[in-house]
Amino acid sequence: MKLALAQVNPTVGAIETNVAMIRRAVAEAVSRGAECVVLPELAICGYPPRDLVLSASFVRACEAAASDLAKVVEPGVTVIVGTPRAIGTGGVANSLAVLRGGTITRWYDKRLLPTYDVFDEDRYFRPGDQAVVVDVPTAKGSVRIGLSICEDLWKGQEHGFNWRYEGRADPVPELVANGATIIVNPSASPFGLGKGARHREIMRMHATRHKVMVAAVNQVGANDELIFDGHAAVIDAAGRLVCAGPGFAEAVTVFDTDAMHGEVNDPLLSAAREEVAFRALSLGIRDYLHKTGFSKVIIGLSGGIDSALTAVLAVHALGAANVLGVALPGPYSSEHSKSDAYDLAKRLGIACPTISISEPVEAFADVINPVFLQQKQAELGATLPDLAEENLQSRCRGTTLMALSNRTGAMVLTTGNKSEMAVGYCTLYGDMNGGLAVLSDVPKTLVYAISRWVNREWKACGFGCEPIPHSSIEKAPSAELRPNQTDQDSLPEYEVLDWVVEARVEERRSVDEIVAATGFEHALVARVCRMIDIAEYKRRQAAVGLKITSVAFGSGRRMPIAQKWRG
C-alpha cells in the first residue's frame, strides 16, 4: 500500500480554509500514487480549538465539512482526517473520520484524553471506548489499519503523567488483537525541546513489542503559544525508522509499505538543539502574525542580546521589509548600546530610527518627585533616585513602542527571556508591552547559544553576514537603567539562575531538592524560588509567549498568585 502522511498547517476555526488545504494535500498525495492519506488530529478545525468546541454550531460545521470532503475524495482512495463530532446527548468526541467512496465509512473516537500541561481534553471531549480497525483497499488486496489519535500512543509517558491512565485499557494491544498490521497515529502534539526523541522511542516500543508498523503524522505550524513541528514518521516492526517527513514545514510524505526499506536519517534528531529552537521560534512568529491578521512587527533595539535575537528571528520569519527596529536611548544608555543597535539593523537590512526617552523620563520625574519630597521619607520609604525612576524609563520605552504600533498597525514583539520572566526582572507596562513574547520560554543561556549558532550558520539561515554584532554577545548584560548597571547586580550568574529556574519550573523541585541536586547555597536557591513565586502576577499580565520547553509560563503552568507555600 502506498501510504501518505500529510502534515498540514490548519488555522483554528478557519474550517473552509483548512478543508481547501486538506484537499490540496490529498490531491498531491493521490498524484504520487497514494492509496491511503492520513492527516493530523482535528485537522478540519485546527488544534487546539479550546472553547470553540463548546459551541454546537461549530461542531456541526466541522462534521458537515468532513462529509463534504468525503464527496470529493477520488474513487479507490481512503482519507483519514481528524475532526470533532457530536456524540450522545450534548457530548463531543475528538474523532477520526474515514472517508471513502463519497461518504464517511467509519468513525474512531480518541480513547485517552490528555488533561495536563497545556491540554484540557477532559473539559471538552468524551473518551471513546472502541478499538477501530479498518480494511483499506489497495491494488494488491487490502490492509488492516488500526486507528489511534495522539495520546492513545503516548499515554502521557513523555510528560510523566502515565499514571492518569492506570486501570484504563491500552488502545494499542486491542488494535493488534483485532488484526491491525499498521497502526496510524494522527496527532496535534505541541513541540518541546527533547520531546520528539521520546516520541520516537515510544513508537519504536509499540512497533517492536507488537510486531506492527507504526505511522505517525503531526500537525505543523503554530496556533497561539503552541508550535507544532510536523516530522511525520514510519517505524517498521523491527523498530527501524524507515520514513521521515521534514520538520517545521508542510509536506506530504508518501511511503510504500510493501517495498523493502532501510533505516533513514532522522531530521528530528540530527539537528542541533539550537537549530531546532531557532526554527520553532521563527515558525511561531510567522504563524502568530499571519493567523492574527498582522504582517509587520516593531522591536525596541537596546544593543543587547535579547533584542538582537528577537530581531533576527523576526527577519527570518517575516522578511526584513516587515521588521522595524527602534533605538530608544535613555539617560544611562551607553554609546555601545546605541552603536550595537545600529550595527544589528544594518546587518539585517532593517530600518532603525532613534527616539530618545530622556525628555519624557525627565518630565515624569518633574511631575512625580515633588510628591515624594513633600512627604516624610519614612511615610513613603522613598530615596531618590529609586526603582520607580528605573521603571519610568522602561515604561516610556513601552509607551513609545505601543504608540508606533497604533500608528503603523505593526505588532510589538517583547524581548524578555525566560530567566527574566521567571524572577520578575521585567517591568509591567514597560518592556513587557507587546503582542507576542518571543523569548519568554528561552532561558538566557539558550539565548546566547542560539545567537552563537545563528552567527556560525548565517548562510544556511539566509542572512548576508553574521547577523548579531559580536559585542552584543560578549558584553555583560545590562538593563542600563542606572549608572554602570549589570544584570548580576540583582541576579545570580545566568548559568546558576537557569539551573534553578529549570529545576523549579520544569521539574517542580523544592528548595531542598534543588540544593541537594546542585550544591548551590540554600539562601541563594530560596531567594530565587521566592522571586519566581512572587512574580506570578506579572506573568499573568504578559503577552502570549511561544512555548519550546517542557513547561512554559502560560496555559501549561497554573500557579496561584495569592499563595503562601514556600517549599
Catalytic residue among 36, 45, 62, 110: 110
Alpha-carbon distance values, 234 to 239, 271, 284 (Å):
9, 19, 26
- Give the three cell numbers for residue 340: 550595537
- Could you tell me the sign of the dihedral formed by the alpha carbons of 154, 94, 5, 189, in that order? negative
3-class DSSP state for residue 36? strand
Distance CA 185, CA 151 (A): 9
Of 294, 317, 314, residue with least CA distance to 306: 314
Of 54, 34, 42, 37, residue with least CA distance to 11: 42
Distance CA 268, CA 226 (A): 18
- How would you list the strands of the sheet with 241-244, edge to edge? 133-138, 141-147, 182-187, 213-218, 233-235, 241-244
b/e map 34-49, b = 16+ CB within 10 Å: bbbbbbbbbbbbbbbb
SS3 content of the chain, % helix, strand, coil (to 5): 40, 20, 40
Of 558, 515, 550, residue with least CA distance to 161: 550
Q: What is the DSSP string of 111-155?
A: S----STT--HHHH-PPP----EEEEEETTEEEEEEE--THHHHT
Of 150, 157, 141, 28, residue with least CA distance to 96: 150
- Give the three cell numbers for residue 333: 544608555
Whether 41 is a known active-site residue: answer: yes
> C-alpha dihedral over 475, 272, 443, 457, to 10 degrees?
30
Query: Hey, which bits of 307-455 come out as E strands?
Result: 323-327, 411-414, 436-437
Distance CA 253, CA 255 (A): 7
Catalytic residue among 2, 35, 41, 151: 41
- Give the three cell numbers for residue 473: 554577545
- Give the three cell numbers for residue 491: 541576579
The H or E element spanning position 156 is none
3-class DSSP state for residue 10? coil
Catalytic residue among 45, 150, 243, 461: 150
Distance CA 532, CA 44 (A): 39
Distance CA 330, CA 395 (A): 12
Residue 462 neighbours by CB distance under 10 Å: 11
Q: Which residues have CB under 8 Å from 289's CB, separation 6+?
A: 295, 297, 317, 318, 411, 436
Whether 150 is a known active-site residue: answer: yes
Q: Please report how many Cα atoms fall inside a 13 Å half-sphere around the Cα of residue 130, on the Cβ side.
A: 10
Distance CA 40, CA 481 (A): 48
Residue 167 neighbours by CB distance under 10 Å: 4
Whether 110 is a known active-site residue: answer: yes
Q: Which residues are catalytic?
A: 41, 110, 150
